[in-house]
């Protein structure tokens, strides 16, 4: 929050600086809204190859559960068929009407630029456009860096039109909820609206009374439903949603639940997209971006984990769909893209230049528009 000066000279300087920071750019195609969705710790291997049969064992499914049903649902003779079964919306809609980056088998490299390969650094890189080596833990500390969401919310045309939802409680720190100026609803916290609705009240009750497998992270279902209700009620123009079960189940060595949660995320994306197209505020003028905060290991044991000691966990995927995206499908044999390019891409889609405000940020992705 800027304090107004008593002097005309200082006011003029502040105004000039503000204008230079905003640096509007042409809004991309017909994009009026951007929704950013992230699913924690999803491997590029499952996105582009589908389920890994070698990992789909009773030992990797609650230690002893049968996996025949999972094999029937998610295994097929080719990677193309397996990935379509696991992520039907991603491959049936995003890959046909948008763009997908990160298939290393096809020469498409998408990766993080931070050196840590875990959550807080990855989310911060995504939202600020650059790696900060001082963000080197998952502690819930206020992010000293301003996110592109916070900056966009400061623009007159978007003020009061940003919102963030996350299963993980640390998003209050990542977005610096005390400073950012827009709603950041996380984990088991209730969404407080005045007036409230019966749907929001029910979701708040579910979050408060549901079993808590992870003390700092709620199950995905109430988080997604809360975000969807808020979208219909308040119609934000830039919204963030992160779901976390994929990472939690993977850390627990539960490959079966990891697959099921990834499949549910895909269903959530399909429902979100259908909802967007049903609302005049969003129909045909909203771009959806989907990615992860980090990858995982590739071996029979390292798939459970990620971090500096697992270099391949830097590899991610990025999917984009909407009027701001020239359809290209699965990117092949292209120049590498990075997580740090997402923030500037969001701003550019909405007609703003994040690089003018944050010179350290990666340049926008080339989406062909």
What average pLDDT does the chain have?
Answer: 94
What pLDDT, in 10s, does the model give residues 201-252? 999 999 999 999 999 999 999 999 999 999 999 999 999 999 999 999 999 9
User: What is the reported pLDDT for 14?
Assistant: 36
- Tell me the pLDDT tens digit for each residue of 293-338: 999 999 999 999 999 999 999 999 999 999 999 999 999 999 999 9
Question: 330 is written with which tokens?
Answer: 């699965």
Q: pLDDT at position 355, please?
A: 99
The pLDDT of residue 25 is 63
Q: Which domains does the chain have, with CATH numbers?
A: 26-357 (3.40.720.10)
How sure is the predictor about 29, in pLDDT bands with cuts at 50, 70 and 90?
Answer: low
28 half-sphere exposure, CB direction, 13 A CA radius: 26
pTM of the model: 0.93
The pLDDT, as a whole number, for residue 369 is: 74
E-strand ranges in the chain read 33-39, 99-101, 110-111, 162-166, 184-186, 238-243, 286-291, 318-321, 329-330, 337-338
- Residue 21's pLDDT band (cuts 50, 70, 90): very low
Give 28's pLDDT tier (boundaries 50, 70, 90). Answer: low
DSSP state of 27: P
How would residue 8 be classed by pLDDT, with cut points 50, 70 and 90? very low
- Over residues 88-96, the mean pLDDT reads 99
pLDDT score at 54: 98
Q: Tell me, what's the pLDDT at 20?
A: 38
Torsion of CA 54, 337, 151, 356, to 10 degrees: 170
CA angle 337, 94, 122 (to 5 degrees): 40
* Whether 200 contacts 208, CB under 8 Å: no
Of 348, 319, 128, 108, the closest CA to residue 364 belongs to 348
What proportion of the chain, given as a percentage, has pLDDT over 70? Answer: 92
């Amino acid at each position: 929050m800027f304090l107004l000066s008593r002097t005309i000279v200082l006011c003029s300087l502040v105004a000039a600086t503000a204008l230079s920071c905003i640096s509007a750019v042409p809004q991309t195609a017909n994009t009026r809204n951007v929704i950013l969705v992230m699913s924690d710790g999803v491997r590029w291997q499952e996105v582009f190859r589908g389920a890994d049969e070698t990992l789909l064992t009773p030992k990797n499914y609650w230690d002893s559960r049968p996996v025949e049903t999972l094999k029937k649902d998610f295994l097929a003779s080719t990677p193309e068929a397996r990935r379509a079964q696991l992520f039907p919306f991603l491959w049936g809609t995003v890959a046909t009407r948008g763009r997908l980056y990160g298939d290393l088998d096809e020469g498409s490299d998408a990766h993080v630029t931070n050196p840590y390969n875990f959550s807080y650094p990855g989310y911060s890189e995504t939202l600020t456009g650059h790696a900060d080596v001082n963000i080197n833990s998952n502690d819930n500390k206020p992010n000293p860096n301003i996110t592109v969401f916070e900056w966009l919310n400061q623009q007159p045309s978007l003020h009061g039109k940003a919102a963030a939802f996350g299963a993980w409680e640390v998003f209050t720190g990542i977005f610096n909820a005390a400073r950012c100026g827009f709603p950041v609803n996380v984990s088991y916290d209730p969404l407080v609206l005045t007036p409230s609705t019966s749907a929001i009240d029910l979701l708040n009750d579910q979050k408060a009374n549901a079993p808590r497998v992870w003390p700092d992270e709620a199950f995905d279902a109430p988080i997604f439903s809360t975000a969807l209700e808020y979208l219909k009620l308040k119609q934000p123009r830039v919204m963030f949603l992160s779901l976390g079960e994929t990472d939690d189940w993977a850390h627990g060595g539960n490959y079966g639940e990891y697959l099921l949660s990834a499949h549910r995320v895909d269903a959530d994306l399909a429902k979100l997209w259908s909802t967007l197209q049903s609302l005049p505020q969003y129909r045909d003028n909203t771009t959806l971006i989907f990615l992860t905060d980090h990858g995982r290991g590739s071996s029979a044991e390292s798939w459970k984990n990620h971090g500096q000691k697992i270099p391949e966990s830097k590899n991610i995927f990025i999917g984009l769909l909407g009027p701001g995206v020239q359809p290209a499908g699965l990117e092949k044999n292209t120049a590498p893209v990075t997580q740090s390019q997402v923030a500037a891409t969001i701003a550019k889609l909405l007609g703003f230049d994040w690089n003018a405000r944050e010179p350290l940020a990666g340049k926008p992705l080339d989406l062909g528009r």
